[in-house]
């Protein structure tokens, strides 16, 4: 801030505080009489210490933000939760720039504790996997290798999961965080491209904010949350042009990530300890330099036997847990029956089975409320749901024959 801007702020401060006009005039005379810049800065710092309101005015002006009066609340798009605001002692009138900087500087440690790699860790990891994913031993081994590498070194190569929609790629990303006992942030690739990006937007722009890397750290109060970027293949272009997002991503996956620069906060943070995991439907839409920095794993659609196990052990219990008053129940025979029918219709996506069972159970629950009695889902109800599902699938394929 130059001397002209300081004098303008002093004039504004004098108008707001007429009782201080004489003192401010004397200060200006002393400031003009200083023989060196250093002496002037020392004098200015003394004045700021004696007048904290003026110091706050200078800080707000330097941030390029409009000063908010004390007591005024944040607008609706306040990015800070109550817990974060309490941790960083953020006042209502502090602007977002000050809040983000305070939050990132308040991180107590660079990283959360790393897992202890031993037999108990391996046993716990496999238990978490069976409870949430079931089967797919090849993917489990990849996840375990990266967890072990991270536990030993605090760093690991990013993972890229490639496969058809709805087969559980994002679910695996969440399990990766659970096994490491680290918080996980799942980010949509297309949304990241359309938003502030990885490194944020310079704070000279209206509505600017910190990048998604820094936001993930602040949200979880840690320097090493697991970051999952979903649908990476959809980040190559934006609005019909190359987005440059994948090129930006290269720098956060290199050794230079120890000095990751956030454009909004204008500070460097260490992003090298973040375990990254990416998902995509098509590897062809990911740049070769980016693929070179990841371990790519192709996820296949689950087999019919796996779907039987997944629906019995995970999908059905999770669906029934939403209706925890016991009004609706279903036997394994009916579960297997619906799986077989959906498989014969050509549905191999886990998401399709989740939707079908959700529809089956919610429809039965509605009938139980209307009749005032408990319902055990019958074969007839399963066939009805399957027939409805088949009609919906046929409707999706309607088109024109030329």
pLDDT at residue 271, as a whole number = 85
pLDDT at residue 241, as a whole number = 52
pLDDT interval class at 234 (50, 70, 90): confident
Q: Is the pLDDT of residue 109 over 70?
A: no
**pLDDT tens per residue, range 65-92:** 444 333 333 233 344 455 555 555 544 4
**pLDDT tens per residue, range 136-146:** 788 999 999 99
pLDDT at residue 65, as a whole number = 43
Higher pLDDT, 65 or 334: 334
Residue found by looking up tokens 């790519």 in the block: 296
Lowest model confidence (mean pLDDT) among 81-90, 146-155, 244-253: 81-90
pLDDT at residue 195, as a whole number = 61
Distances (CA, A) of 62 to 2, 97, 121: 11, 11, 50
Which of 120, 84, 77, 118 is CA-nearest to residue 100?
Answer: 84
Q: What is the mean pLDDT of residues 183-199?
A: 79
Q: What is the mean pLDDT of residues 48-55?
A: 83
| Fold entry, domain 304-395 | Helicase, Ruva Protein; domain 3 (1.10.8)
pLDDT at residue 161, as a whole number = 93
Q: Could you tell me whether strands 159-162 and 184-188 are parallel, antiparallel, or unpaired per DSSP bridges?
A: unpaired
In sequence order, the 6+-apart residues with CB closer than 8 A to the CB of 152 are 117
pLDDT at residue 26, as a whole number = 80
Highest mean pLDDT among 2-16, 139-153, 186-200: 139-153
Domain residue spans in the chain?
A: 3-95, 119-298, 304-395
- Give domain 119-298's CATH superfamily: P-loop containing nucleotide triphosphate hydrolases (3.40.50.300)
Higher pLDDT, 191 or 400: 191
Lowest model confidence (mean pLDDT) among 12-16, 51-55, 72-76, 254-258: 72-76
Burial class (CB in 10 A: 0-12, 13-18, 19+), 230: buried
pLDDT interval class at 14 (50, 70, 90): confident
pTM of the predicted model as reported, rounded to 2 decimal places: 0.67
pLDDT at residue 153, as a whole number = 87
């Amino acid at each position: 801030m130059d001397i002209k801007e300081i004098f303008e702020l002093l004039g504004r401060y004098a108008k707001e505080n007429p009782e201080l006009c004489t003192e401010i005039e004397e200060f200006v005379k002393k400031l003009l009489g200083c023989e060196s810049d250093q002496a002037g800065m020392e004098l200015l710092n003394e004045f700021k210490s004696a007048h904290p309101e003026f110091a706050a005015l200078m800080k707000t002006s330097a941030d390029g933000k409009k000063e908010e009066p004390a007591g005024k609340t944040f607008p609706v798009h306040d990015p800070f939760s109550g817990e974060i605001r309490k941790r960083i002692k953020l006042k209502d009138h502090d602007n977002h720039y000050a809040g983000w900087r305070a939050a990132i500087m308040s991180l107590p440690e660079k990283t959360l504790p790393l897992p202890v790699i031993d037999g108990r860790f391996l046993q716990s990891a496999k238990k978490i996997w069976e409870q949430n994913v079931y089967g797919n031993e090849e993917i489990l081994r990849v996840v375990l290798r990266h967890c072990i590498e991270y536990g030993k070194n605090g760093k690991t190569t990013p993972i890229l999961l490639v496969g058809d929609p709805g087969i559980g790629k994002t679910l695996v990303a969440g399990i990766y965080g659970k096994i490491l006992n680290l918080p996980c942030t799942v980010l949509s690739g297309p949304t990241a491209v359309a938003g502030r990006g990885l490194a944020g937007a310079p704070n000279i722009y209206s509505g600017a904010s910190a990048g998604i890397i820094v936001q993930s750290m602040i949200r979880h109060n840690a320097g090493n949350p697991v970051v999952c970027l979903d649908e990476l293949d959809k980040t190559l272009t934006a609005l019909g042009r190359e987005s440059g997002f994948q090129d930006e991503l290269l720098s956060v996956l290199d050794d230079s990530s120890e000095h990751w620069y956030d454009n909004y906060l204008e500070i460097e943070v260490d992003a090298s300890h973040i375990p990254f995991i990416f998902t995509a439907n098509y590897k062809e839409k990911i740049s070769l330099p980016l693929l070179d920095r990841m371990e790519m794993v192709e996820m296949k659609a689950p087999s019919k036997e796996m779907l039987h196990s997944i629906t019995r052990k995970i999908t059905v219990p999770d669906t029934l847990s939403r209706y925890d008053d016991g009004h609706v129940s279903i036997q394994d025979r009916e579960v297997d029956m619906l799986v077989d029918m959906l498989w014969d219709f050509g549905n191999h996506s886990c998401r399709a089975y989740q939707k079908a069972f959700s529809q089956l159970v919610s429809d039965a629950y509605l009938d139980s409320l209307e009749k005032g009695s408990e319902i055990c889902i019958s074969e007839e109800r399963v066939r009805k749901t399957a027939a409805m599902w088949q009609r919906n699938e046929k409707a999706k394929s309607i088109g024109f024959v030329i």
